[in-house]
Chain A
Amino acid sequence: MNFKLYNFTPDSIEVPLSQVLRYMGCPADAGEEMTSLALRAIGGFKPDYKACCRMAEVVTTDDGAFIGTLFAPGRDIAKNLENCQRAVVFAATVGLDCDRQKTRAAVTSQAMALALDAAGSAAAEALCDRLCQDWKNEFKKIGLFLRPRFSPGYGDMPLDFQKPLLEYLDAGRCIGVTLTNGMLMTPTKTVTAIAGLGGAGCERDGECRGCGKADCIFKLT
């Protein structure tokens, strides 16, 4: 794999209800009413799951890492890719319909708009989890481990890095992901990330370790 495109049908990615509720700011046992709202939100937009990725050699430096010709700035990514020989750079999106339905719901029901936003986030995460799981399985066969994904905006990696990252993937052309002047992506429910690959020493699952933010409500334990 040095470059690959992915298309998933809506029913091939399961959007976990518990995650939607979490992004809505509710506990898993928030009651029938919230569950029903979350379920309507999951069914309230047509996901158009697409992703593209490129794999290349990693060379870390003091202030960042090269993944092929792409330089990812920041000490945190350098640390994240320590001991990795290669890395997967990817962009994954749930498509525009979530944004469209959210805009429409914002006219008629703020609760639904919020729930759609949560469902879109959960769908994007589910898509990334699926991709990473597939890669994990694929590379395990050749004795490589996939490190947890790291996105622009994490730690000291600047958001401006979205631009070279998306250009490196030709993501505009391949999956229709573009940037606004403020470095936000459209469709808004899109994730870009880098996931390192390496042998022994890379097998540990990071799960938020290495992030300095202590009060994050989304911290994975």
Chain B
Amino acid sequence: MDFRQKLKTDLIYWDGATGTMLQKMGLLPGELPETWNVKHPDRVTQIHREYFEAGSHIVCTNTFGASSLKYEAREAEKLIAAGIDCAKRARDQAVGGQSDRYISFDIGPLGKMLQPMGDLPFERAVELFAGMVKAAEKCGADLIDIETMNDSLETKAALIAAKEFSALPVIVSNVYDDAARLMTGADPETMTAILEGMGADAIGMNCSLGPRQMLEIVPRFVKCSSTPLIFKPNAGMPRSVNGRTVFDVDADGFAEIAARAVEAGVRIVGGCCGTTPEFIRKIVERTRGITPVCAEPKNLTVVSSGVRSLSIGSRPVLIGERLNPTGKKKLKEALRAGDMQFILSEAISQQEQGAEVLDVNVGLPELCEREVLTKCVTEIQAVCDLPLQIDTSDPEAMEAALRAYNGKAMINSVNGKSESMQAVFPLVKKYGGVVVCLTLDENGIPETAEGRFAIAEKIVKTAETYGIGLKELIFDPLALTVSTDPSAAKTTLDAIELIKTRLGGKCILGVSNVSFGLPRRDIITSAFFLMAMQRGLDAAIMNPASTEMQKAYHSCLALTERDAGCADYIDFIGNMPQESVPAAEKTAAGEKPQQDGLKGAIIRGLVQEAARLAETELTEKEPLEVINELIVPALDQVGRGFEEKKVFLPQLLMSADAAGAAFEKVKEHLPKKDETGREILLATVKGDIHDIGKNIVRALLENYGYSVIDLGRDVTPEVIACTAAEKNIKLVGLSALMTTTVPAMADTIKLLREKAPNCAIMAGGAVLTQEYADMIGADFYGKTAMDAVRCAGEVFAQ
């Protein structure tokens, strides 16, 4: 029977451990298991045969780590072909067992962490997995299994490769810990959203947990997933008896729990580390006669990051709108300058203000949207665990960002134009996502609610032809400006109701549009928001910093039975900024107002106090006076204390944080960055992922008024040298923590001398010494961050 067909109705038995069996046959610790496909094909075949004979429908090939990261590409192909051959021979030789026997091409993790946590680029991971899939395709496997994955992003890379280079069914199983999370943080709901969104044929769990612990997680999948569930636990935890590794659950005990898992909804059952053909035989015996439970289709609209998921529908979702350059001068500047710091802090502050999803739009005509959007999505995900809404009208940029995105994104947007649907729906189908559907088409925006509803209906029908269900769509009936069209708000609200009641669809609005051209926009926008929520609005793209919007939101929840005991409302009021309190008393919790002004606030490291006092100073002093008379002397004082060992590094940094907050205020009154001409380029060199030292130097240099271009960590000599040459940089700072990366620093300096001969180079980092710095040809050596400030002073004084 065709595997997909069988998966629709039957209980399917997978095999048990391969590694455990290989070790029993003599595989040594550290020896690469896949080499046995060629060295000992008879033994590998025997393991597969025993599993088939024990009753496994699926046997997975001994190809877990057969990527070209571990082997030469040709060698990997050879091992894959040999591995599939072993399984085929076993299928032919096996006596007894099931009549339906499938060979699954096994893919495990690459053994390297993906960026941004590690150094393996996402597309390189896809390429490595693709190499494995292509090799397997030639050899005739029946399906592909992606297993033992402990990172959601790597799982996604493998699934993309499997889908792009093969039409075989793909089953995916992840490693959960006893808190039901992947090592990188995803829970079952999150993985279900991601994997179902991308069309995996079965999803579930393997390895790490014993059967009892894994059984506890089964109901969570059953509740959220519409896809057949995999259950492949270890035989308990490994322990040692008389020098031999044994596991603490025996075959009978294992089979008993497996039976309960099947009754609870598991559809593919097998074993991982420590299990043997005996375990499979017992499972088959014990579960014979149990009617498998098929997963009910769940009608859930879910988006996720790589860590958490969000189900849309029970209460309105707040989507932060501030990462969109339209009308935002500072963000525009940051995007043009590649200033990720500003973008990342906007992301974090929106999360802190209560946003549950962040819209990310980087559409500026002079930027390569594809590159910038992908970079922003990746970097925001490194510091913020909220799901993102990828907002672009460029399908190429959309695809690039959706690929690299860790999770199941919201996609903004598609509309009723054929061209738009043709471009966007295939991406939704391939990468998964909940897509915002604008109710406009070739004829523009209909003036009536009925007209907008008709477009929504058309979009639903078209989406269906791509295999995209209503639950993956969220309709935007378009908030238009009420100051130019008095009926604008009413039409939109009526359209929400039609879409909700007649179509059963979900609705979203960019609510702020309603108030263009009016004074105190927040007041009328929040009233409109409240009215829309009353009609059933499911999500709003809004500014989470707006107190008026938050008031409307929290009040609405309390008034519509969605805030038990008004707890959320009371909490909100407790944390609400007190508008009536005079500014002088407004300090952050724990920050005592100081008597000695901005200088004192910086010396004490009081961030919010420093920002507030800087604003006060700026009403009387010129920006440069504030820098030179207050900020710099305060920093000098702290810096001197640090060098005299009276002030500790964290205190120096707290002062830097405070000075940074003050400087942000001053910057608003300063001429644009490049007019100061004091640009410094910083980077941690190739091979080094430590950046804390470089970040400290950056913070201090910025405090002293330098404008810093921070290229990040693990940066190649080429990127550093080319940027320095291109931007005509006078000073480059290089950092390295490990002795192993000092050669990369030497290479960088060599290339800098060639490409940007006029720039000075300072070097620092834990392993560097003056001797090292001299040896590799740096102009300056900085032992501490204060040395870097001094060095910059010398260079720019010349």
Q: In chain A, what residue has the closest Cβ to B384?
A: A104
A140-197 CB contacts (< 8 Å) to partner B: 159, 164, 167-170, 172-173, 176, 178-184, 186-188
Total A residues in contact with B, Cβ cutoff 8 Å = 56
Residues of A near B240 (CB, < 8 A) are 1-4
Residues of B near A74 (CB, < 8 A) are none
- Kindly state whether residue A96 has any CB partner on chain B within 8 Å: yes
Contacts A117-B692, A159-B740, A180-B119 hold; do A108 and B345 have CB atoms under 8 A apart? yes
Are A7 and B740 in contact, CB atoms less than 8 angstroms apart? no
Residues of B near A95 (CB, < 8 A) are 183
Interface-facing stretch out of A11-19, A23-31, A123-131, A202-210: A23-31
Are B119 and A182 in contact, CB atoms less than 8 angstroms apart? yes
Are A69 and B29 in contact, CB atoms less than 8 angstroms apart? yes
Are B112 and A69 in contact, CB atoms less than 8 angstroms apart? no
- 1/0 per residue, CB under 8 A from B, across A70-114: the answer is 100000000000000000000000011101101110111111011
Cα separation A59 to B245 with both chains bound (whole Å): 22
Are A5 and B237 in contact, CB atoms less than 8 angstroms apart? yes
Residues of A near B30 (CB, < 8 A) are 69-70, 164, 167-168, 170
Contacts A33-B651, A180-B119, A186-B113 hold; do A70 and B29 have CB atoms under 8 A apart? yes
Contacts A108-B345, A164-B30, A188-B690 hold; do A173 and B108 have CB atoms under 8 A apart? yes
- 1/0 per residue, CB under 8 A from B, across A47-72: the answer is 01000001010000000000011100
Q: In chain B, what residue has the closest Cβ to A38?
A: B650
- Shortest distance in angstroms between B495's beta carbon and chain A's nearest beta carbon? 39
Are B117 and A186 in contact, CB atoms less than 8 angstroms apart? yes
Cα separation A104 to B695 with both chains bound (whole Å): 12
B659-683 CB contacts (< 8 Å) to partner A: none
Are B183 and A178 in contact, CB atoms less than 8 angstroms apart? no
Are A25 and B650 in contact, CB atoms less than 8 angstroms apart? yes
- Shortest distance in angstroms between B496's beta carbon and chain A's nearest beta carbon? 36
Cα separation A176 to B150 with both chains bound (whole Å): 7
Q: For the complex, would chain B's binding face be called helix, strand, loop or mixed by DSSP majority?
A: loop
- Kindly state whether residue A42 has any CB partner on chain B within 8 Å: no
Residues of A near B607 (CB, < 8 A) are 109
- Kindly state whether residue B116 has any CB partner on chain A within 8 Å: yes
- Kindly state whether residue B689 has any CB partner on chain A within 8 Å: yes
Are B238 and A34 in contact, CB atoms less than 8 angstroms apart? no
- Shortest distance in angstroms between A122's beta carbon and chain B's nearest beta carbon? 14
Are A178 and B237 in contact, CB atoms less than 8 angstroms apart? no
Are B238 and A4 in contact, CB atoms less than 8 angstroms apart? yes
Residues of B near A109 (CB, < 8 A) are 607, 653-654, 657
B640-660 CB contacts (< 8 Å) to partner A: 648-651, 653-654, 656-657
Residues of A near B29 (CB, < 8 A) are 3, 54, 56, 68-70, 168-170
- Kindly state whether residue B589 has any CB partner on chain A within 8 Å: no
- 1/0 per residue, CB under 8 A from A, across B326-357: the answer is 00000000000000010011001000000000
Cβ contact of A103, chosen from B112, B119, B382, B649, cutoff 8 A? B382
Are A111 and B690 in contact, CB atoms less than 8 angstroms apart? no
Cβ contact of A173, chosen from B148, B654, B691, B695, cutoff 8 A? B148
Residues of B near A5 (CB, < 8 A) are 237-238
- Kindly state whether residue B24 has any CB partner on chain A within 8 Å: no
Q: In chain B, what residue has the closest Cβ to A113?
A: B692
Cα separation A207 to B136 with both chains bound (whole Å): 52
- Kindly state whether residue A37 has any CB partner on chain B within 8 Å: yes
Q: In chain B, what residue has the closest Cβ to A180?
A: B119
Cα separation A3 to B686 with both chains bound (whole Å): 35
* Residue among A33, A56, A182 with max Cβ neighbours from chain B (10 Å): A182
Are A110 and B653 in contact, CB atoms less than 8 angstroms apart? yes
- Shortest distance in angstroms between A42's beta carbon and chain B's nearest beta carbon? 14
Cα separation A102 to B744 with both chains bound (whole Å): 25
Residues of B near A102 (CB, < 8 A) are 692
- Shortest distance in angstroms between B35's beta carbon and chain A's nearest beta carbon? 13
Contacts A104-B384, A110-B696 hold; do A184 and B738 have CB atoms under 8 A apart? yes
Which residues from chain B sit less than 8 Å from chain A, CB to CB? 28-31, 108-109, 111-113, 116-119, 148, 150, 177-178, 183-185, 207, 237-240, 243-245, 341, 344-345, 348, 382-384, 605, 607, 648-651, 653-654, 656-657, 686-692, 695-696, 699, 714, 738-741, 744
Could you show 9 A-B contacts with beta carbons less than 8 Å apart?
A3-B245, A103-B116, A104-B382, A107-B345, A109-B607, A111-B653, A182-B688, A182-B744, A183-B738
> What 3 pairs between A and B have smallest CB-CB spacing?
A182-B687, A111-B653, A168-B30
